[in-house]
Amino acid sequence: MRNTMKKNRFKKAWLNEHLHDPFVKLAQKENFRSRAVYKLKEIDEANKLIRPGQMIVDLGSAPGAWSQYLGRKLAGEDGSIRGKVIALDLLPMEPVDGVQFIQGDFREAATLAQLEAALHGARVDVVLSDMAPNLSGIASADAARIEHLADLSLDFAQNWLKADGALLIKSFHTGYFSQIVNRFKLQFKTVKTIKPKASRDRSAEVFILGLQPKSTAESTI
């Protein structure tokens, strides 16, 4: 009974916070699918990541707010997309104009092969990852899952990013966070850790941005 009461209080508090959240209200007003779009928007505006004509990969894209933002940023005056966005998620996602969607598990070789085939050999300007694992509540296991997703994103970026490309991933302050940042530093000339205003204070999430991939020779120094 006590556990049920605690859960009900938590749900009520979360719902109250959600309904009064300014980013939720803004997302509804601007017709975005989730408040998460304002995390990307803040990072993009500060670092000038997204420009028309780019090839962009959006990992962990559902429900699609980031893909919506990308589509709008790449749209020309006539509304047509200048560039290409490929979105991928384990969950289904409602269509977004101008965005190619692949449903699959990024951890599986078959899904990665499908994504790479969709690139048709083209190099990528920006890789975005809002992927997060299902958390078990066991700190060591959850940290390992978070690190694994980060490693997969870094591997993909290493193989496909242009020389002036960028990788942005969502991570969390866990036992492996410093290792993830260190790998970014090995792989990119500039690395930033960012806590956007739209990221709730109580959340352990933090975004890691890598700019300008190092050459093989530079990454071994």
Question: Distance between CA atoms of 157 and 160, rounded to whole angstroms?
Answer: 5
Q: Is 53 annotated as a binding residue?
A: no
- Asked about 7 being catalytic, the answer comes back as no
Q: Is 58 annotated as a binding residue?
A: no
Q: What is the CA radius of gyration of the chain?
A: 18
Question: Distance between CA atoms of 91 and 109, rounded to whole angstroms?
Answer: 17
Catalytic residue among 73, 170, 189, 214: 170
Q: Is 14 annotated as a binding residue?
A: no
Q: Tokens representing 214?
A: 């190092």
Question: Distance between CA atoms of 191 and 206, rounded to whole angstroms?
Answer: 13
Q: Is 64 annotated as a binding residue?
A: yes
Are the C-beta atoms of residues 57 and 81 closer than 8 Å to each other?
A: no
Q: Tokens representing 16?
A: 């109250």
Q: Is 155 annotated as a binding residue?
A: no
Q: What are the catalytic residues?
A: 170
Q: Binding site residues, as ranges? A: 64, 66, 89, 105, 130
Q: Binding site residues for S-adenosyl-L-methionine, as ranges? A: 64, 66, 89, 105, 130
